[in-house]
Chains A and B, each alone.
Chain A
Amino acid sequence: MRLNRELACQEVVELVTAYLDDALLPDDRERFEEHLVFCDGCQNYLHQMRGTIAAVGRVRVELPAELQEKLLEAFRGWREA
């Protein structure tokens, strides 16, 4: 994507995921970072998105117990077959 002027905060917030994935073009990345230097609001936003990602990383990944049980039965059945 190509951005040809100074960024507004409303644009910066939409670029955060691309920025974190290192998917911005070098010029855009530079504009993004320049904006952050002077903008506490966007710094907070970026920091909170990083915090959000860390918090999401702690979510449980197990399946509901009944489903685990059913899958395990299916596995045992397959092994026996």
Chain B
Amino acid sequence: MVTQLLSPEDALLVEGLRAGDEAAFVAVMRMYGRGMLRVAEMYVSSRAVAEDVVQEAWVGVLRGIGRFEGRSSLKTWLYRIVANTAKTRGVRESRSVPFSSLGDGGDEGTVDPDRFIGSGERFPGHWAVPPQAWAPEGRLLADETLEVVEDAIERLPPAQRAVITMRDVQGFTSEEVCNALDLTETNQRVLLHRARAKVRSALEEYMR
């Protein structure tokens, strides 16, 4: 069995999907569905089209699961299928693929330049308005704060949103994200860093 290459958890899910086990399907959909939607959103113009793409991708998943050889983890395979489905759809929509640029900002810093001392002065580039400690810290993990985080993620450019979802919500490694989305290590990190910096900034506003 090729599925010996997979982790025990993945192997169980793959066996379940092949056997038509609804519980396995629901488990996979719950774990990776939202991330798949985020990936689809990178390549197409609207949420509605992205939802279509996820459905189409799942048809591909079910068709392909019998031949899935476990050379990558299940989640990487799933995300590659949705990325490819979305790219095809994006081309049909004649929407350009987003990685020629990294979404926004170019070489600009991720922290408001006004918060640093200017170049003409002593200690240029050091904090003029440093971040203050957040107190009480427990608030960071409160339910209302979760909404602030979700809103901030929702406002990100799609590529940043997909990468932060994969890395920080779904626990992909940087290598797994690069493989699933055909990104270079550097671009992956730039997208993740910009995304995190924006969410931090929204939290700073809120925790003040």
The residues of A with any CB-CB pair to B shorter than 8 Å are 8-11, 13-14, 16-18, 21, 23, 39-42, 44-45, 47-49, 51-64, 67-68, 70-72, 74-76, 78-79
Q: Per-residue CB proximity of B3-44 to A under 8 Å, as 1/0?
A: 000000000000000001010011001111111010000000
How many angstroms from the CA of A11 to the CA of B133 in the assembled complex? Answer: 20
**Is B141 a contact of A10 with CB atoms below 8 Å?**
no
B51 proximity list for chain A (CB < 8 A): 64, 67
Partner among A10, A18, A56, A72 whose Cβ is within 8 Å of the Cβ of B116: A10
B203 proximity list for chain A (CB < 8 A): 48, 51-52, 55
Contacts A14-B110, A58-B141 known; 11 new A-B pairs at CB < 8 A = A8-B125, A16-B193, A18-B193, A45-B130, A48-B134, A49-B197, A52-B149, A63-B54, A67-B37, A75-B62, A78-B20
Main SS at interface, chain A: helix
Given A10-B111, A14-B109, A75-B25, do A23 and B189 touch, yes or no (CB 8 Å)? Answer: yes
* Most central of B29, B32, B37, B145 by chain A CB within 10 Å: B29
Given A59-B150, A63-B33, do A11 and B141 touch, yes or no (CB 8 Å)? Answer: no
**Is B126 a contact of A9 with CB atoms below 8 Å?**
yes
Partner among A45, A68, A79 whose Cβ is within 8 Å of the Cβ of B20: A79
**Is A61 a contact of B35 with CB atoms below 8 Å?**
yes
- Min CB distance B128 to A, Å, is 9
A78 proximity list for chain B (CB < 8 A): 20, 59, 62
B125 proximity list for chain A (CB < 8 A): 8-11
How many angstroms from the CA of A9 to the CA of B150 in the assembled complex? Answer: 28
